[in-house]
Amino acid sequence: MSVPSPVRQYNKLNLTRSGRLLTITFNRPELLNAVNLEMLEELAEVFTYAAADPDSDVVVLTGAGRAFSAGGDLEHIAGNAARPEQFEYEARLAKRIVFSMLDLEKPLICRLNGHAVGLGATLALMCDVIFAADTAKIGDPHVALGLVAGDGGAAIWPQRIGFGRAKEYLLTGELLTAAKAQEIGLINHCVAASELDAAVSAFCERMLNGATKAIRWTKVLINLELKRIVHSVLDTGLAYEGLSAHSADHREGVRALQEKRKPVFGQQDIPGKDTPRQGD
């Protein structure tokens, strides 16, 4: 029997392997696993690594500490608001992350140990099966920062809960409890926090004891349509998010978050808002 190879080491992600189960853990617990540039770069590579790992058949994605991921790191977001040219590079990283998750043939199980917000929610929802602690919340409040939900939310939310509900939650940025998310089909399972590990382990064991090729190729078939949809939406979504990153509303959203107050949004950036139509 061959000896399993050591798992790759990252700075902002922690990889462990138990038997043929590979676990990827966001590892910035002191900042609620908020995503900065270094973590983005690592996420753009880690699922490709997981796909090629010969010593695993199932992958779990989770967070260290009390959160899954709080989304974008505030300091990082504020820096991008001051340097919008950086967005082009990060848009390419976002595409690599999303498509490497969808291209991963191995079952990808989300262990939602705590809140998943913004990009954190997108990363959770791109997984195949989601188990959440009943203390967790999930939502995509891009709009609360004056940003378009363009990094995958507009693609994946409608596929999970339909257009009507997706519009409601993406246009308001409302956070949902895990119980509500399960009720509307956004996630698969909401369990007591004390039972989360057992529930995830039981499902992973079921996958590991199943017919590996049949499971993988069934996932491939299901993801064909999902990838088509994401391909049709993601470029445009990232372009719109890039435009909104240049807006006064986004700068106000960042300032308000830094100052811990409610943002006061205006509409001065909407071209032609006060321009009379021809013939008026």
Query: Residue 11 CB: number of other CB atoms within 10 A?
Result: 11
Torsion angle of the four alpha carbons 231, 10, 77, 177, in this order, in degrees rounded to the nearest 10: 70
What is the average pLDDT across 40-61?
Answer: 98
Q: What is the pLDDT of residue 81?
A: 59
CA atoms of 92 and 36, how far apart (whole Å): 15
Q: What is the mean pLDDT of residues 153-179?
A: 98
Environment class of residue 3 by beta-carbon count within 10 Å: exposed (0-12), middle (13-18) or buried (19+)? exposed
Q: What is the pLDDT of residues 101-149, one digit of tens each?
A: 999 999 999 999 999 999 999 999 999 999 999 999 999 999 999 999 9
Amino acid letter at 119? Answer: L
Give the C-alpha separation, 196 to 264, whole Å. Answer: 39
Mind listing the domains of the chain with CATH numbers? 13-258 (3.90.226.10)
